[in-house]
Amino acid sequence: MSRTQLRTALADAAFWTGLAVFNLTLAVVFGGMSSGSTLISVLLSLELWAIGGAMRRIALRRHWFELGPVRLALRLLLCIGLGATLAQLLLIPVLRLALIQGWVSLPQSTGFRPAMLFVYWANTAFMLGLWAALWSWTMAMQRYREGEIARLNAESLRNAFELDALRARLNPHFVFNALNNLRALINEDTERARELVTRLSSTLRHALDHSQREQASLAEELAVVEDYLAVEAVHYEDRLRVQRDIDANALSARLPPMALQLLVENAVKHGIACTPGGGELSVRAHCENAALHIEVGNPGRIDPEPARRGVGLAYLRTRLAHGGNAGRFELKQRGNRVIAQLEIPQ
């Protein structure tokens, strides 16, 4: 038995024992204390303990707490009514037999008339309903706490991925190569060196600010990608050939910040850089069926190990899963090219 099950069993035992003691106390106060009252209090508490446990198992096994409050309440009310009826059907024959045999006695005011039987049933239903209400409240609070823990874990995971993505944006190799290329250009081509500084500055500034916004337009993301590709073009030269196919109607579409940048950087790092002679990096975007469709392609093969496909793609999947974008991301092998497809509903 787990600790949770043990705590639940002890709580049930305490509740029903307390209820039996309470009923006996009322009998003493109102002068109705008798051996029959003791038998009723003890036997009824044991019955309701068993019936309550059965209710709990059925509710958890059939996932009633996932049905919503109204459907849950209706099911619990039905179980309370049936449980109270079953408790009385089990209790009354035992009590009558004990009375006939003279084992116990009851006050003369106690009887088995239909009105009294209804009062007994209503009292039993009230006690079982009180237990069900307390248990339901406990379960609701437990599910709320678990939901909060899951939300905080998801937020923590998102923040961790954002930190990793930020580190990836400030990749030492990228900065090192850019600075080396800048040093070479200073004496050879001052104008191009100045442009490289501007592009590098824009790329790093956007990397530092990317987590501050929930969404950005495709036009804004393309501007960042152009800065990044301009910096990488100095390093890869003719090895990096870019083909663009952007529908003008898609420029105002919204997507998570850095999403396109992540795909392009992954294509350069795991495609162009790893392919002898480089290759063509394709960027396509259009809107269709109220969704933005983005496709980034590069030469190469999909790595069979997900962990080696880049932290950027893992971050993107997490952002789509927890950021409320309800988007879809897929990585495909198409011949000798790897195609990253991103779909963002608008």
Per residue in 290-331, pLDDT tens? 999 999 999 998 877 665 555 567 667 766 765 555 688 889
Residue 140's DSSP bridge partners are none
pLDDT above 80: residue 241: yes
302 within 8 A of 335, measured Cβ to Cβ: no
- Residue of 245, 240, 307 whose CA lies nearest to 269: 240
pLDDT of residue 164: 59
N residues, the chain: 346
Q: How far apart are the first and last CA of the chain?
A: 50
- Bridge partners of 293, per DSSP, are 286, 343
Kindly state the tokens that stand for 245.
């196919």
Place of tokens 């063509």: 280
Please report the pLDDT score of residue 23 as a whole number: 78
Q: Which of 38-47, 120-129, 158-167 has the lowest mean pLDDT?
A: 158-167
pLDDT at residue 286, as a whole number: 95
Helix, strand, or coil (residue 241): strand
Q: What is the pLDDT of residue 175?
A: 77
Tell me what pLDDT residue 85 has. 92
- pLDDT > 70? residue 213: no
pLDDT per residue over 81-134, tens digit each? 999 999 989 988 888 888 888 887 776 655 667 777 888 899 889 989 999 999
Three-state SS sequence of 87-155: HHHHHHHHHHHHHHHCCCCCCCCCCCCHHHHHHHHHHHHHHHHHHHHHHHHHHHHHHHHHHHHHHHHHH
Element at 188 (helix H, strand E): helix 172-188
Q: How many CA atoms lie within 13 A of 49 on its CB side?
A: 19
Confidence of residue 280 (pLDDT cuts 50, 70, 90): very high
Confidence label for 32 from pLDDT (cuts 50, 70 and 90): low
Burial class of residue 234, CB neighbours in 10 A (0-12, 13-18, 19+): buried
Contact 214, 252 (CB under 8 A): no
149 confidence band (pLDDT: 50, 70, 90) = confident
In 3-state terms, what secondary structure has residue 230? helix
d(CA 269, CA 342): 18
Distance CA 48, CA 224 (A): 67
pTM of the complete model = 0.49
CA dihedral 20, 21, 26, 28 (to 10 degrees): 120
Closest CA to 261 of 158, 345, 168: 168
